Amino acid sequence: MTDPGLAAREAALASRPPFRAVEPPSLLGGYAPPRNAARAAVALLLRIAGGEVELLLIRRAEREGDPWSGHMALPGGRWQRGDGNLATTAARETREEVGIDLWRHGRRLGELDELAPRSARIPSIVVSPFVYHVAAGVEPHPNHEVQEALWVRVDELLHPDAAIEYLHDLADGNTLAFPAYDARGQVVWGMTHRILAGFLELYAQSVSPPSPK
């Protein structure tokens, strides 16, 4: 641990068990994935650079037929039989997509809530996000699946100006509005926004002074 504050964030993650996404539809806004839904995992990487906490975001490459083509995201992908567990999936996909070996250069701080798409239009999948700390000098080296990768300061995402609205055009001509983050000019919405929102809530709690009794 190079930053004492990371211990508080690890404790915040450990203070509550992660929510499991395969629950009755009433708990998930009217849609729940089937219990045999595909599984995936992503890695939320933190580093301390210049005294600031940063997290890594990627832009997925444009691919026809991919529902997340070109989206801002976290490194990750689908569970494979040889992975054993979902934390291994997150670490394997991170090494493949951005060249960061979490087994050698990462420390797992905890797990965030599982989540699933809120629309039946999206492939049925349950995503498990894991939070890792990596050394300050670690840099991503994206593969062909990743268009770009960038470190974003956490306090920038916590600033009120970072909270924006994203308008998504549907094939039927309608438009839906989604909450989003402006991450250095990049729009983060959908499942990645939901993951970051959960993380930022815990992060803010870990850095806030205790309320007087």
CA distances from 101 to 41, 90, 94, 142, 152 (A): 15, 11, 7, 13, 20
Q: What is the mean pLDDT of each run of 10 residues along the chain (213 residues)?
A: 74 88 48 71 96 95 78 95 93 98 96 86 86 95 96 97 92 89 96 96 80 55
Superfamily in which the 4-155 domain is placed by CATH: Nucleoside Triphosphate Pyrophosphohydrolase (3.90.79.10)
* Contact (Cβ atoms closer than 8 angstroms) between residue 83 and residue 121: no
Q: What is the distance between the alpha carbons of residues 115 and 31, in angstroms, rounded to a whole number?
A: 11
> CA-CA distance, 168 to 17, in Å (whole number)?
33
Q: Specify the pLDDT at position 29.
A: 46
**What does pTM read for this prediction?**
0.88
pLDDT at 211: 56
3-state secondary structure of 90: helix
Identify the pLDDT of residue 136.
Answer: 92
